[in-house]
Structure 1
Amino acid sequence: MKELIRTNDPVVLSFATSLLNDAGIHSLVADQSMSVLEGSLGLLPRRLLVESERAGEARLLLVDAGLGSELRTEK
């Protein structure tokens, strides 16, 4: 899986996840349960992951939706 977004903003994650799901691209928000360790302060960022073979397609979709500035750089 490839990491596309790393953020503390739940609205960005929700929007991106919804876009990907509507396009049929499986995604996973990692580190959601870390709030137990951090005391629900929202300090630790959540990561949006997609299937490696569909990462390019997902990236284009998120850029078209205006989330280009949220994307992690490709490695």
Structure 2
Amino acid sequence: MIELVRTNDAVVISFVEALMRDAGIACIVADQNMSVMDGSLGILPRRILVDAEQAETARRILADAGIGNEIRKQ
């Protein structure tokens, strides 16, 4: 799995999940339950992971959707 996005913005996470679902790309949102550790303040970022074989396609989808700035640099 490749880290595609790391953010604590719930809107970005939902948008990326929707884009990946619409494209048929499986993704995992890691660290969702870490909010228990930060008191549910949303301080700790969540990571969106995709399969390495689909990472380039996923990056292109995010760039085309106008959120290419959210893509995690390798």
Give the TM-score normalised by the residue count of structure 1: 0.95
Q: Which runs of 5 or more structure 1 residues have no equivalent in the other structure?
A: none
- Residue 32 of structure 2 is matched in structure 1 by 32
What's the CA shift for 1:38? 1.1
Q: CA deviation at 1:52?
A: 0.7
State how many pairs are aligned: 74
Q: Which runs of 5+ in 2 are unaligned?
A: none
1:13-70 per-residue CA deviation (whole Å, 9 max, x = no partner) reads: 1001100011000001000000111110111000010011100000000100001011
1:65 corresponding residue in structure 2:
65
- TM-align CA RMSD: 0.6
Which runs of structure 1 show a deviation greater than 4 angstroms over 4 or more consecutive aligned residues?
A: none
CA distance in 2, matches of 1:48, 1:70: 11
1:34 maps to amino acid: M
Matched, 1:16 2:16: yes
TM-score (norm. length: structure 2): 0.97
